[in-house]
Amino acid sequence: MANVGVHGTSVDLQLQKLWIQNIAITMGLVNANTTPLLLKLVASGRLNVDDFASHHFKLHDMMDAYDTFGRAAETKALKVVIDR
């Protein structure tokens, strides 16, 4: 699973609870080499991303979308989708 985005606040990881679960955590900048493949998988329906989008807006409501995402902790915005 990839968590894509820019995070505005720090997080405390409870490593003592994670290590026993054999979880690997890696971080880094986006590897744009895989973007075309991901887009093809989404477009073909082989990768369902519906559950990742928490809010949908029309293009003419762009400012509301930015406001919602900017207040993600309050609005519980996970990913905001802009539709035509």
Q: Which pLDDT band, with edges at 50, 70 and 90, does 4 fall under? A: low
In this prediction, residue 6 carries a pLDDT of 67
Q: What is the pTM of this model?
A: 0.50
Q: What is the mean pLDDT of residues 14-24?
A: 82
Quote the CA–CA distance of 35 and 49 in Å, as a whole number.
14
Higher pLDDT, 66 or 1: 66
- The pLDDT of residue 31 is above 80: no
Q: What is the mean pLDDT of residues 51-59?
A: 91
- The pLDDT of residue 25 is above 80: no
Altogether, the residues listed in the chain come to a count of 84
